[in-house]
Amino acid sequence: MSDFIAVIPARYASSRLPGKPLLDIGGEPMVVKVWRQAKQSRASRVVVATDDERIHDVIAEAGGEVLMTRADHLTGTDRLSEVAESLALTEEAILVNVQGDEPLLPPVLIDQVAECLAEDPDASIATLAEPIMDAEALFSPHVVKVVRDLSGRALYFSRAPVPWHREEWGDGPLTGHSGPLAQDVWLRHIGLYAYRAGFLAAYRGWSPAPLERLEQLEQLRALQQGHRIQVGLACQAHPAGVDTPEDLVRVRALFSADHDGER
């Protein structure tokens, strides 16, 4: 297994769930739950990167490593870039971006995405995907789709249903389709990334790309700059994170059920 660092970007502000990293899940702040999951991976180091002293304090109290970063970062990737610079990492060093709102993230997926990047020396980024098995998900703009080439590298990411099944759907609208899909050819992108530190250094100087602005998908910035993204098929199901109040209720219930089962 190749050496890598897991970084958890965590900011206090959230439009849907203010103070999201500190929301209680199973008796602990959510960011602490995520940190504990990342610690179960094979990462040589797990760092929480934040701009908020409250987040800093709960991680420090739990015994974790935390790095204070600037407050003006627009994305988690920008925050990772500052981390890579602060730690003075070599260009080939691998960092895995573990989102701070995924307390159910299987540690094996953190290991897998790091290994995907290590095994493709020409790629700057690696990420994961899983099959889309129903049309509702395929046609949802909230589910990001990815198309790969024969070597597993990303050709494109989109909120639209790509590839388009011309014979079955014709020129019809993107609504009204339901039920199971006839073929297992569509992939849902999982927002778990591994980066080389050298890529993150270059990323700091780029402006948002036209395709990125259209789709609101920051990974398109790397593709438009000519960087390769390796996309592995997730070896385990990827549970949804906490993005809405409804997600919070669902995840809290899961942790509560697990606790009750241990009694």
End-to-end CA distance of the chain: 36
* Confidence band, pLDDT 50/70/90 cuts, at residue 258: low
pLDDT, tens digit, 9 for 90 and up, residues 147-164? 999 999 999 999 999 888
- Averaged pLDDT for residues 235-246: 88
pLDDT confidence band for 77 (50 / 70 / 90):
confident
Q: How is the chain split among helix, strand and coil, in percent rounded to 5?
A: 35, 20, 45
Neighbours of 117 (CB within 10 A): 26
pLDDT score at 1: 61
Q: Rg of the chain's alpha carbons, rounded to an integer?
A: 19
> pLDDT tens digits, residue range 102-118?
999 999 999 999 999 99
How high is the mean pLDDT of the chain?
A: 88
| Nearest Cα residue to 132 out of 144, 121, 124, 122 | 144
Q: How confident is the model at residue 124 (pLDDT cuts 50, 70, 90)?
A: very high
Contacts for 52 with CB less than 8 Å, ≥ 6 apart: 10, 11, 12, 21
